Amino acid sequence: MPETQTDYYAILEVSPTATQNEIKRSYRRLARKYHPDLNQQARDKHFKLLNEAYKILGDPPQRATYDQQRKLEAKQLKAAQEALALHQQQEHEKREPKLTWIGGIFGFI
């Protein structure tokens, strides 16, 4: 299964239906909170992820591409889960003993 995509909406703490203004506001709030110069305990990696998320979600064409990729990934994940559930059900049915007429008659005695 392919590697899952980073959830930029979760990183910026906005919903997928957020407006550009909401994304910008959230980015600025989080950038102040996690900027290494303002917060000594902030991790540089988290700040880089914030910048990456804003770069994608702050640009409408890139955001549209990202949203399409998320939808495709969600469909693929759902199909994989359904296939796994079907396989597990089939394996369970193989292991489950089946009563035949003779087995049924003697099984109840």
- Please write the tens of the pLDDT for every residue from 5-34: 789 999 999 999 999 999 999 999 999 888
**Ordered DSSP codes for the chain:** -PPPPP-HHHHTT--TT--HHHHHHHHHHHHHHH-TTT-TT--HHHHHHHHHHHHHHTSHHHHHHHHHHHHHHHHHHHHHHHHHHHHHHHHHHHHS----HHHHHHHT-
Each domain of the chain, given as residue ranges in start order, spans 8-107
Model pTM above 0.75: no
Mean pLDDT over all residues of the chain?
84
Give the architecture-level CATH label for domain 8-107: Orthogonal Bundle (1.10)
Tell me, what's the pLDDT at 108? 53
